[in-house]
Chain A
Amino acid sequence: MYIAAVFLPLIGSLIAGMIAFVAQGAVRAEDTERKKRLDLASQLITCGAMLLASVAAILVFIAVVVNGQNGTVELFTWVDSGSLEFSWELRGDTLAVLMVTMVTVVSSMIHIYSIGYMSHDGSIPRFMGYMGLFSFFMLMLVSANNLVQLFFGWEGVGLCSYLLIGFWYDRPSANAAAIKAFVVNRIGDFGFALGIFACFFLFDSVSYDTIFSEAAAKSTATMNVFSGEFHALTIICLLLFLGAMGKSAQLGLHVWLPDAMEGPTPVSALIHAATMVTAGVFMVARMSPLFEYSDVALTVVTLIGASTAIFAATVGCVQNDIKRVIAYSTVSQLGYMFFALGVSAYSAGMFHLITHAFFKALLFLGAGSVIHAMSDEQDMRKMGGLYKLIPATYVLMWIGSLALAGIWPFSGFFSKDIILEAAWGAHTGIGQYAFWLGITAAFLTAFYSWRLIIMTFHGESRADEKTLAHVHESPKVMILPLVVLALGALFVGILSVDYFVGEHTVEFWKNSIFVLDTHKALENAHHVPIWVKFLPLVVGIGGIALAYLMYMFAPELPKALASGFQRTYQFLLNKWYFDELYDKIFVKPAFYLGRGFWKAGDGLLIDGVGPDGVAAAVQHLARRAAAMQSGYLYHYAFAMLLGVAFLVTWFLVAGA
């Protein structure tokens, strides 16, 4: 069953890929009917496979989490070379199975939605194939039972994100965004790979079971790095976290995620909700037995997480592209998850990951529905007044936003609440830092969410006539998945809070998450002052109120603020100038260096020696070698005898 859950998406994707690259290549351009049939086939196969996979995943979830079976499946040995030995395995503990369930369910909704959203696109099978492959790699990542398989999935999602962000490869901006995502991820992956090497160096194994059981014994080990002795687990954790920062778009390596909007909207939803960005959070939770022994690493995780949360929230307040606002909200929410991990409240972080998956997919697909209605317009300044025209989307966006803002009883309320309380409950300086930044970010989150809703759906319409005439509610195939996700955004939190972080937490997680007894943040979270409990809700409502004030009742206020605080506004609008900074520090010098290498190194040296030197010599040699082949039998026989004579002589002379 577990195998079906993980591999069905792959099978579906492979078939879609075959259709895209083999079958459709053979279809003539004018044969539209046949092309349509192939499109439909690829959609049905991939969606069917994903749906079946999610059913299988739910069954596995019931078997493992509810009935307490051990679901680990060993497929076969992969590498067995000296002390390096590991298998293809599917790990069957709560953490892995939970992720598998979430990924398959959310991903299948997005798959179905894509049928409607991409209906006018010319290469549907390719799209469906990539999407399925993306889900498969994510499933491989979360179900891994050793670091190498994790890395396999890790790189796989990186690859698929590249393919999907650059799906419309005839747009230069899409290509640039795809390359940016790939390169930035590469930086993180470099650290991640080093982390895996360091793990193998320290534990002589890459399989989780060995690493986790020996972590305590190695908690004081040191490692020599650049001829200095450092705490080994800290080094490992920091390197692994670097990888997580890249994948989960944390401050510093976040620059790729907003640009990833260049891909089709379902891709954004997939990246932001189910796959890819959650990988970093999941990995840190998975590696909790290591992180627990390194206070330094935990502090760094908290610091980065909290800073990311506030940074992205401030930027989100001034963006005008509807998808970009949601993108920054993802970065910000990921920040929340990380600082939860950093204060050892792994289960709270994972809780937020799951609830976030539902409402973020909902928000993105809802935004997609808006864009679809507006004939591909994404700028909110050109929207407004849409609530009468697309009421279903409007209601769904409200549900998503309420969940995002953390309003009771929506899912986001429970998970965000417990994270902030845990940060408070850590009783450390860094915990306080995270708490207060988190509260501020919660205020801003509510503010920009309603800014989005009001600018898009209320007020006077700012769109041109032609677009307005075309506005229509999305087809059922797009709305139904949204309803399912909305149900998730409504009920997942309230139904599962007791299991994730409440009284049943121990039997829910079993041994899949490890927390040292001295790290009591989560326990303390249930005994915080009453004002800490209510503050997140209060600031959330405050944020909504402010948004109403500024955009509904006093629409001239934002403009006045923007011109009054020109500097601040520009600073936020330009995303704290991260892109410009990186451009100056890394990109430009890299270009100069590259140009230098190209002109001097490649042009003069390599071409000089290469094509005109070595390659010419190779050509010459090749002609000579071929010329030996005269075609005459006696030449060949002669060569053989010469060879024997040479070998015998060599022997008699050298051997004697």
Chain B
Amino acid sequence: MPLATLPTLTPALPEIFLAIASMLLLMLGVFSSEENNTRTVSYASVLVLIVAIPFVGLVTEGRTVTFGGAFVTDTFAVYIKALVLVSAATAIIMSKDYLKIQGIERFEFPVLIVLATLGMMMMISANDLIALYLGLELQSLSLYVIASFQRDSARSAEAGLKYFVLGALASGLLLYGMSMIYGFAGTTSFDTLANIFHDAHGHVSVGVIVGIVFMLAGLAFKVSAVPFHMWTPDVYEGAPTPVTALFAVAPKIAAMGLFIRVMVGPFGELGAQWQQIIIFISVASMLLGAFAAINQTNIKRLMAYSSIGHMGYALIGLAVAGTAGDAALQALGVQSMLIYLGIYMFMNIGTFACILLMKRDGRMVEGIDDLAGLSKSNPGLAMILSIFMFSMAGIPPLAGFLGKLYVFQAAIQAELYALAVIGVLASVVGAYYYIRIIKVMYFDDPVDELDRGISLEMKAILVVTGVVIVFFVFYPVPLLTGAESATAALFHK
């Protein structure tokens, strides 16, 4: 056997493209003139990310494995990767003005986002514990750096450091869990693990179970689910706002994708074992997301709790997918979750675009009170932010309502009534703080006006996301069919 047979590279084409492109982008940054190299690299990065989307889309159906079974591409990966690429690209677009205002225009910023995206895509396509870890770490390391990108600011540095230390702890937990599983099952490959557990008919040793729990903890950290959420509010508040916008969307979606792949893939047969944990995490996240946000005054911190809550709702889908022995129901769970994540992406991008427009006298402001009277000074922005807030609160007929509807329906089908009821109650409590923002904008006495003037890119982002949220009810088909074919890839091997 020759030592160096080259594995098939085509399935990993988008990743390879991004890897090479990120190197080139670095070169571009170094060798272009100092004045506007950030601008150039930013645009080039966005271009790279957008070009990567058709590369990803090359997979139309079926499932391809390569690198000795460690890497997999299928329609599931395509769906999640498309969401991740779109959100990463918009994060770069949205960062442009912010970086200039804060005086931290460095061309490494977009490159780091591209690298993080590469890591996310690798973990979405992971089909082996080691590959999973590799992707996860590439992503995390890039994110630690950009969290503290504004290194002159104590808050930003603190956020980065906190994220790094806790992230390292979570990685440790994850690795520990993996080693337990390897020790007791004897393999790191997802496919082999799935076969082993399939043959065991749900009877596995305690070691494997403990391993799964540790892995769950590590993954739950990445999606900031309770009780592994503690880093989220601090990091969201401290990190530069475009970074927060990125954190709230791309890594969350990628980690959720990984979560789904791991849970219904290798551990799919063990649903009875882990379903309870997911239910617990989901309920705790929904409740904490609803309650803890109420007293917040900083809008970024509020969004942190909001995203914790949203992850709780999305996890309902995963809990449904843990129903042992009913493939149709499992598929329904995953599908509802994927739809939820898609809608979540649009709502969050739009909201953060609004937050990034909160400037006064050329400086960024983050207080909810700063929005007072926005309906007078900037009615358009106030209206669109209201749309996002109503959607987040789950008011029909906006997309956010339908996303919740799908996951709750799945929960009802799986007879997880408690989950659905708690979910509805939590969204009632959560509606308070979303609608409070609208109240502040429309009914409170105006404070000093926020700066006017919205750049063309921001306008485009706001309009596109707003239109998606409002008109989703009339034309939901693309997202639904996307989620459906993505789910099909997981359940028909």
Residues from 621 to 656 in A contacting B, C-beta threshold 8 Å = 621-623, 625-626, 628-629, 631, 633, 635-637, 639-644, 646-648, 650-652, 654-655
* Complex interface: chain B residues within 8 A of A640 (CB): 166, 169-170, 173, 217, 221, 227-228, 230
In the bound complex, what is the Cα–Cα distance between A76 and B277 (angstroms)? 41
Interface residue ranges of A203-253 to B (CB < 8 Å): none
A433 within 8 Å of B (CB atoms)? no
Chain A: minimal CB distance from B282 (Å) = 13
Min CB distance, A592 to chain B, in Å?
A: 30
Complex: A635 Cα to B166 Cα, angstroms: 11
Q: Mark B217-239, 1 if CB is under 8 A from A, else 0.
A: 10001000001101101100000
Residue pair A643, B227 in contact (C-beta under 8 Å)? yes
Against B, the Cβ 8 Å flags (1 = close, 0 = not) of A11-34 are 000000000011001100000000
**CA A621 – CA B290 in complex, angstroms?**
10
Our pick among B161, B165, B277 for the contact of A637 (Cβ within 8 Å) is: B165
Binds A, one of B54-62, B207-215, B434-442: B207-215
The reply on B341 being an interface residue by CB < 8 A is: no
Interface size bracket, A side: 35 or more
Q: Are A618 and B291 in contact (CB under 8 A)?
A: yes
Contact A625 B288 (CB under 8 A): yes
A77 at interface by CB-CB < 8 Å: yes
Contact residues in B for A636 (Cβ distance below 8 Å): 162, 166, 230-231
Assess the B214–A631 pair: CB atoms within 8 A.
no
Is B273 an interface residue when CB atoms closer than 8 A count as contact? yes
Q: How far is the CA of A292 from the CA of B480 in the complex (A)?
A: 40
In the complex, A78 has a CB within 8 A of chain B: yes
The smallest C-beta distance from B283 to any residue of chain A, in angstroms, reads 13
Chain B 143-171, CB within 8 Å of chain A: the 1/0 string?
00000000000000000011001100110
A88 at the interface (CB under 8 A from B): yes
A651: which B residues are within 8 A, CB to CB? Answer: 209-210, 213, 273, 277
The CA-CA distance from A566 to B404 in the complex, in Å, is 63
B234, A629: Cβ atoms closer than 8 Å: yes
Do residues B477 and A77 form an inter-chain contact, with CB atoms below 8 A? yes
A35 CB, min distance to chain B CBs, angstroms: 15
Question: Which of A22, A623, A641 lies in contact with B295, CB distance below 8 A?
Answer: A623
Q: Report the separation of the CA atoms of residues A653 and B113 in the bound assembly, to the nearest whole angstrom.
A: 43
Q: Are A621 and B291 in contact (CB under 8 A)?
A: yes
Query: Whole-angstrom distance from the CB of B463 to the nearest CB of chain A?
Result: 11
- The answer to whether B296 has its CB under 8 Å from any CB of chain A is yes
In the bound complex, do residue A626 and residue B295 qualify as a contact, i.e. CB atoms below 8 Å apart?
A: yes
Q: Which interface residue of A88, A640, A646, A652 has the most chain B CB atoms within 10 A? A: A640
Q: Which of B165, B173, B213, B273 has the most CB of A within 10 A?
A: B213
Would A655 and B273 count as touching, CB distance under 8 A? yes
> Contacts A76-B475, A655-B273; is A21 near B379 (CB within 8 Å)?
yes
Q: Is B383 among interface residues, defined by CB-CB distance under 8 A?
A: yes
Q: Judging by beta carbons under 8 Å apart, are B234 and A643 in contact? A: no
A interface, over-half SS: helix
From B227, B273, B380, contact of A639 by CB (8 A): B227
Shortest C-beta distance, A480 to chain B (Å), equals: 35
Task: Classify the interface of chain B: helix, strand, loop or mixed.
Answer: helix
A626 with B292, Cβ < 8 A, contacts A642-B227, A647-B217 known? yes
Task: Identify B291's interface contact among A625, A633, A635, CB under 8 A.
Answer: A625
Q: Contact: A647 with B216, CB < 8 Å?
A: yes
User: Do B217 and A625 touch (CB < 8 A)?
Assistant: no
Instruction: Check A619 for interface membership: any CB of B closer than 8 A.
Output: yes
Q: Render B197-213 as a binary contact track against A, CB cut-off 8 A, 1 for contact.
A: 00000000010011001
Among B214, B228, B230, chain A packs the most CB atoms within 10 A around the CB of: B230
Residues of B within 8 A of A626 (CB): 292, 295-296
B426 to chain A, nearest CB (A): 11
Is B276's CB within 8 Å of the partner chain A?
yes
Interface members, chain B 316-331 (any A CB < 8 Å): none
CB distance from A268 to the nearest CB of B (A): 30
Chain B residue, CB-CB nearest to A638:
B230
Q: How far is the CA of A619 from the CA of B295 in the complex (A)?
A: 8
Q: What per-residue 1/0 map shows which CB atoms of B409-434 lie under 8 Å from chain A?
A: 00000000000000000000100100
Q: Bound complex: CA of A639 vs CA of B379, how far in Å? A: 43
Question: What's the least CB distance linking B444 to chain A, in Å?
Answer: 17
A639 to B161, CA, bound (A): 18
Q: Is the CB of B292 within 8 A of A629?
A: yes
Which chain A residues border B227 with CB–CB below 8 Å? 639-640, 642-643, 646
- Docked complex: A31-84 residues within 8 A CB-CB of B: 76-78, 80
Q: Does B31 sit at the interface, judged by CB under 8 A?
A: no
- Which of B227, B231, B234 counts the most chain A CB atoms within 10 A? B227
In the bound complex, do residue B213 and residue A644 qualify as a contact, i.e. CB atoms below 8 Å apart? yes
A142 CB to nearest B CB, Å: 18
Contact B292 A622 (CB under 8 A): yes
Interface residue B294 (Cβ < 8 Å from any Cβ of A) = yes
Instruction: Tell me whether A633 and B276 are in contact (CB under 8 A).
Output: no
Check if B166 sits within 8 Å of A22, measured CB to CB.
Answer: no
Given contacts A626-B296, A629-B230, A643-B227, contact A618 B429 (CB under 8 A): yes
CB–CB A622/B291 < 8 A: yes
Bound Cα distance from A159 to B187, whole angstroms = 63
Contacts of B214 in A (CB 8 A): 644, 648
Chain B residues with Cβ below 8 Å from A618 are: 291, 294, 429, 432
Set of chain B residues within 8 Å of A644, measured between Cβ atoms: 173, 213-214, 217
Q: Contacts A643-B227, A654-B276: A619 and B217 contacting too (C-beta < 8 A)? A: no
In the bound complex, CA of A641 to CA of B172 (Å): 11
Q: Specify which of A22, A78, A625 is in contact with B292 (CB 8 Å cutoff).
A: A625
Which residues of B are found within 8 Å of A633, using beta-carbon distances? Answer: 161-162, 165-166
Q: How far is the CB of A270 from chain B (nearest CB, A)?
A: 24
The CA-CA distance from A644 to B209 in the complex, in Å, is: 12
- Residues of A near B173 (CB, < 8 A) are 640, 644
* Cβ contact within 8 Å between A635 and B209: no
Complex: chain A residue closest to B475, CB-CB: A76
Q: Are B209 and A655 in contact (CB under 8 A)?
A: yes
Q: Given the known inter-chain contacts A76-B477, A77-B477, A651-B213, please indicate yes or no for A629 contacting B233, CB distance below 8 A.
A: yes
Contact in complex: A647, B169 (CB < 8 Å): no
> What distance in Å separates the Cβ of B300 from its nearest Cβ neighbour in chain A?
14
Question: Who on chain A is nearest to B162 by CB?
Answer: A633
Determine whether the beta carbon of B230 is less than 8 Å from that of A647: no
Q: Please give, as numbers and ranges, the residues of chain A lying within 8 Å of B228 by CB-CB distance.
A: 639-640, 643
Residues on B with beta carbons closer than 8 Å to the beta carbon of A77: 477
Contact of A635 among B170, B230, B233 (CB under 8 A): B230
Rounded to whole angstroms, the CA-CA distance of A633 and B277 in the bound complex is: 25
B166 to chain A: closest residue by CB: A636
Cβ of B477 and Cβ of A622 under 8 Å apart? no
Across the interface, do B380 and A22 meet the contact criterion of CB distance under 8 Å? yes
Interface residues of A in 77-97 (CB under 8 A from B): 77-78, 80, 88
Residues of A within 8 A of B432 (CB): 618
- Return chain B residues, CB-CB under 8 Å to A641: 169
A625 CA / B308 CA spacing, docked (Å): 13
Closest partner residue, chain B, to A79 (CB atom): B476
Q: Which residue of A lies closest to B170 (CB)?
A: A640
Q: Chain B residues near A655: list those with CB within 8 A.
A: 209, 273
Given A629-B230, A655-B273, A22 and B383 touching (CB < 8 A)? yes
The 7 closest A-B pairs by CB, nearest first: A625-B292, A643-B227, A636-B230, A25-B379, A622-B294, A22-B380, A644-B217
A–B pairs, 23, beta carbons within 8 Å: A22-B383, A76-B477, A80-B477, A619-B295, A622-B291, A622-B292, A625-B291, A625-B292, A626-B295, A626-B296, A629-B230, A636-B166, A637-B169, A640-B217, A640-B230, A643-B217, A644-B213, A644-B214, A647-B217, A648-B213, A650-B276, A650-B280, A652-B209
10 extra A-B contacts, CB within 8 A, seeds A625-B288, A647-B216? A22-B379, A76-B477, A618-B429, A629-B230, A637-B165, A640-B217, A640-B221, A643-B217, A647-B277, A652-B206
B residues at A contact (CB < 8 Å) = 161-162, 165-166, 169-170, 173, 206, 209-210, 213-214, 216-217, 221, 227-228, 230-231, 233-234, 273, 276-277, 280, 288, 291-296, 376, 378-380, 383, 429, 432, 474-475, 477, 480
